[in-house]
Structure 1
């Protein structure tokens, strides 16, 4: 059986070429060094040192072994240093999944804060719709997912993060609607600009119309919030979008929100991790940041 301490004593003795000096470096007694080398030589079945009057010298076999021992201890030292850096969050990586809109409008401040606090941590972002992100999380491809709620999966631990207030926005082409509160029928008759099918946002708005007895078919389907905002601004119709995502456009008058007689219910954003997988220290630090910041985002 390999005894790591034997090899450590062997390496120091080979470098010092003296049992007493090696013992002093190792803070053990000289007989302990001598005994360890004797035990090691007996276990290997060969001599590693020539005993001389003023010290020791490596045999041919000892010289052959030394280069491997030095490489092994150097590798162990590198491993220990790497673990220390991981523990201190000087190194590592975090894999996060979310939709483009959530990354830009909700996660970016937290990502910036995390990056400033731990610049050595590599941040890997992957985007997609909630079902795709959830699948990647369950399969272990990402550490943490930020997604639309409700979401219920026994494999995941899910916590609320922020509330989203949705609205329909239009551009100057619909200026006559500024002071008018729309019925569901009037809203459904407008050209609608919605996210592409399959997204949680699209499912939500279609279900909201269906609950009121309306089945809508959008005039324009787009894959990003930025495009929704731009097409609404250009007068193509009413875009369904989260109010916080277009706050600047609403403030500067490029868009205005349609008033509805039947208000839209709020939605929640949450973050999820796997129940059966312990997070890395880098990922755990990010999740703790999300938990801390969630109070101010709700």
Structure 2
């Protein structure tokens, strides 16, 4: 016995006003239209719901039973409509972001703070993983958007650059190179290199750029995280190539120094990833607009 919301709405209004005429005025319908809705509901249920008296209508016993359910259903309909309006207006909802380590640890917190100021009703869940894991999270629907340090080639994913990063040669305070305007590439051959793990996209980029200027550096030490590498450099265990974003605090404190390498360009774009064929929720649309637009001011923006 199907019941339509419009029938329940007409019935509930008639009971509340004790009048088909006043119910019609509230619903913006004619009195005969409201009467027909209630009659159709009665026919579908096989029960009389209203006693139609000369000056008013009153619910029957069956009408009293239905009234409570009707009001709950109509209330749920209103809640559902409001929830969708809130989602569309970004007053509610959630977004899952996956980011590679440098972005996740050093850029994303500030970015999310700025994004939350614009959309305080949105809940953002962030996961940090290597770039290839970020791509896997998107394909596995474990994240809606990814932020990575290398361009990931994967079917169905759209990669858009959103800011320019620069890897820099980092040395500890007191190192002979600290404070120099630059070092020559050949000088690197005598240095102990503290490198990321072999599967790191950052390491692959550094090695490729070094080879382009004729330098091959075998790592003296491999560590799996930027913080561990920074601590190793501070301890005098070697030098490394790290994102400038990741050493901002240490540079201010004077414990690490960034030294240019003559002729070595270590700039790279950071990429925003999302699935091409996935429905873009209002929250995802807002985040993409934020990241790809000028609002992403925590990063340096795309270099001209």
TM-score by length of 1: 0.89
Q: Which residue of 1 aligns with 2:118?
A: 117
Q: For each residue in 1:262-297, what CA deviation from the matched residue of structure 2 results, as whole angstroms up to 9, or x when unmatched?
A: 514322111011000121111211110111126951
Provide the secondary structure at the position in 1 that maps to 2:176.
helix
Residue matched to 2:221: 219
Distance 1:33 1:175, change over 3 A: same
Q: State how far apart, in whole Å, the 1-side matches of 2:150 and 2:177 are.
A: 35
Residue 136 of structure 1 and its aligned partner are, at CA, apart by 0.3
Secondary structure of the equivalent of 1:260? coil
- Given that 1:92 and 1:121 are in contact with CA atoms closer than 8 Å, whether structure 2 keeps it comes out as yes
SS in 1 for 2:293: helix
Q: Is residue 29 of structure 1 aligned with residue 33 of structure 2?
A: no
CA distance in structure 2 between the partners assigned to 1:42 and 1:180 by the alignment: 90
- What is the CA–CA distance in structure 2 between the aligned matches of 1:3 and 1:208, rounded to whole Å? 67
Contact 2:193 2:217 in 1 (8 A): no
The residue that corresponds to 1:56 in the other structure is 57
Structure-1 separation of matches of 2:28 and 2:118: 40
Q: Answer yes or no: is the 8 Å Cα contact 2:96–2:124 preserved in 1.
A: yes
Name 1:107's counterpart in structure 2. Answer: 108
Following superposition, the deviation at residue 27 of structure 1 comes to 2.9
CA drift of 1:98 comes to 0.5
Query: Aligned partners of 1:195, 1:215: CA distance in 2, in Å?
Result: 13
Of stretches 195-204 and 259-268 in structure 1, the one that deviates more from structure 2 is 259-268
2:258 equivalent in structure 1: 257
Instruction: Name which of structure 1's ranges 183-192 and 281-290 shifts more when overlaid on structure 2.
Output: 183-192
Partner residue in 1 for 2:289: 288
Partner of 1:81: 82
SS in 1 for 2:175: helix
Give the corresponding residue for 2:244: 243
The structural deviation recorded for 1:46 is: 1.9
Structure 2 stretches lacking a partner, 5+ long: none
| Structure 2 contact 177–183 (Cα < 8 Å) conserved | no
| d(CA) in 1 for partners of 2:150, 2:23 | 64
CA RMSD of aligned residues (A): 2.4
Structure 1 gaps, min length 5: none
Alignment check: 8 A CA contact 2:5 2:74 kept: no
**Residues 1:297 and 2:289 aligned together:** no
- Residues 211-269 of structure 1: per-residue CA shift (max 9 Å, x gap): 5463613324132x233223212212102201232234335532223453451432211
What is aligned with 2:188? 187
Structure-2 change in CA distance of 1:258 and 1:39 (3 Å): closer
Aligned to 2:9: 8
